[in-house]
Amino acid sequence: MQKLISFFKLIANASLISFFMLFIIFANKKYIPYELFLQETLPFFQTNFAAEIFSQNIIKNDSQTKKVFNNNEDIQKESLPNTTANSEKKIDFEKESSASEIIDENNIEYDYSKTAFNTNIDDLDKLQDITYLKSKFYVCDSKTDITSEDFNVNKFLTTDTTIDNSLNEPKILIFHTHSTEMFKDSNENDMYEGVVGLGKKLAQILNDKYNIKTLHHTKRYDIINGKPDKRGAYERMEPEVSKIIKDNPSLEVAIDIHRDGVADSVHLVENINGKQTAKIMFVNGLCKILKDNVLTNINNLPNPYLDTNLALSFKMQMQSYKLYPNLTRKIYINAYRYSLNMLAKSLLIEVGAQTNTKQEALNAMEPLADILASVILK
């Protein structure tokens, strides 16, 4: 009996020590890799409960925890350890950051009521001014920066973004790194009521209306053991999407469709041709990060197609301003490469947010297809 009592005392003491460590970890995340500890000790860590905890706590400044709204919901890799290595091993940020995609609304200036480009878009002199371009055309995450070296409007406009559509071969590939992204009235048990349904609709329009043979890849990369888990989705997606591209050498355009995450009070909608239509946003990753205020290449995230990526999204934005004023938000620029490194003409597109209805999002596919066709068809 005495041994049994001693055993229970040992268990109780171990539990108290574990929860004390957990408290210290949450309060002072610099001591040990707290995610590794949680993965080893808490069976619910891979669930949505854990994701919700971390989405509310991962970004801090000196005075307050900043509210986060995501375009891809992944946890910042500065905080993620290499779980296959010793827990004290220093994280290689360059290796880990390909799936780190968080927009911090406190670090960017964005006015949802003024999303249109309120000047003459044919005024190239203004567009060549990097300060003006940065303030009016793009929204840039604080982890990176827009420079005249990468954002040369004359270079963008002279870049060939057209496709050869003369043969009946696949030209566009649509896929979804984050297939679980849904809308406010979506049935979460039906993936076609989220972004996957948008891809299906866009592919149908491109095939039927514009005669551009389009493939729609619906494999899910943000589901692990039957549960949503976006961490590592880009790494899981890339080998398989790259194989599709290799097996279909006629493909020229890759489109990764997502939906944004915003504050509950934000409704990204515009009346387009009499329909309530979710706003869209083009996203680019520079593969460059600010270190000590110096823009530095992320060497382990190369993108040989960066120049064409930037030119394509710029032309898409220009055409959207001409054809459908107020449909698009500013182009979002972050440090990472997302899914834009597999084909030169690659797009990552955010369609609305969790506050939009699925019909509002679907309504955006017709104008999006129109804009795309006007840019890539000769």
Taking only the tens place, the pLDDT of each residue in 121-173 is 557 788 889 999 988 899 999 999 999 999 999 999 999 999 999 999 999 99
Q: In angstroms, rounded to a whole number, what is the distance separating the alpha carbons of residues 278 and 257?
A: 13
**What's residue 8's pLDDT?**
67
Asked if residues 139 and 313 have their Cβ atoms less than 8 Å apart, the reply is no
Count of C-beta atoms within a 10 Å radius of residue 310? 24
* Mean predicted lDDT score pLDDT of the chain: 78
Q: In angstroms, rounded to a whole number, what is the distance separating the alpha carbons of residues 137 and 41?
A: 46
Q: Which residues of 113-142 are buried (b: 16+ CB within 10 A; e: fewer)?
A: eebebeeebeeeeebeebeebbeebbbbbe
Asked if residues 95 and 300 have their Cβ atoms less than 8 Å apart, the reply is yes
Q: What is the pLDDT of residues 292-341, one digit of tens each?
A: 999 999 999 999 999 999 999 999 999 999 999 999 999 999 999 999 99
Count of C-beta atoms within a 10 Å radius of residue 167? 8
For the chain, domains (ranges, CATH) are 2-104 (no CATH), 124-376 (3.40.630.40)
Q: In angstroms, rounded to a whole number, what is the distance separating the alpha carbons of residues 62 and 13?
A: 34
* CA dist list (Å): 230 to 14, 42, 99, 180, 258: 32, 19, 9, 9, 12
Distance of CA 308 to the CA centre of its chain: 18
Residues of the chain with pLDDT under 70: 1-10, 12, 14-122
Q: At what angle do helices 34-41 and 2-27 cross, to 10 degrees?
A: 150
Nearest to 78 by CA among 53, 55, 103, 59: 59
Q: Which residue has the tokens 């827009």?
A: 146
Q: Where do the H-state alpha helices sit in the chain?
A: 2-27, 34-41, 48-55, 93-96, 124-127, 130-136, 153-158, 195-208, 233-247, 306-323, 358-363, 365-376
What is the pTM for the complete model shown?
A: 0.72
User: What are the respective helix, strand and coil percentages of the chain, to the nearest 5?
Assistant: 35, 15, 45
Q: In angstroms, rounded to a whole number, what is the distance separating the alpha carbons of residues 179 and 183?
A: 12
Q: Is 70 left (phi over 0), alpha (psi -120 to 50) or beta?
A: beta
**What's residue 149's pLDDT?**
93
Q: Is the dihedral of CA 325, 366, 377, 214 positive or negative?
A: positive
SS (HEC) of 256-291: EEEEECCCCCCCCEEEECCEEEECEEEEEECCEEEE
**What's residue 127's pLDDT?**
87
Q: In angstroms, rounded to a whole number, what is the distance separating the alpha carbons of residues 357 and 278?
A: 8
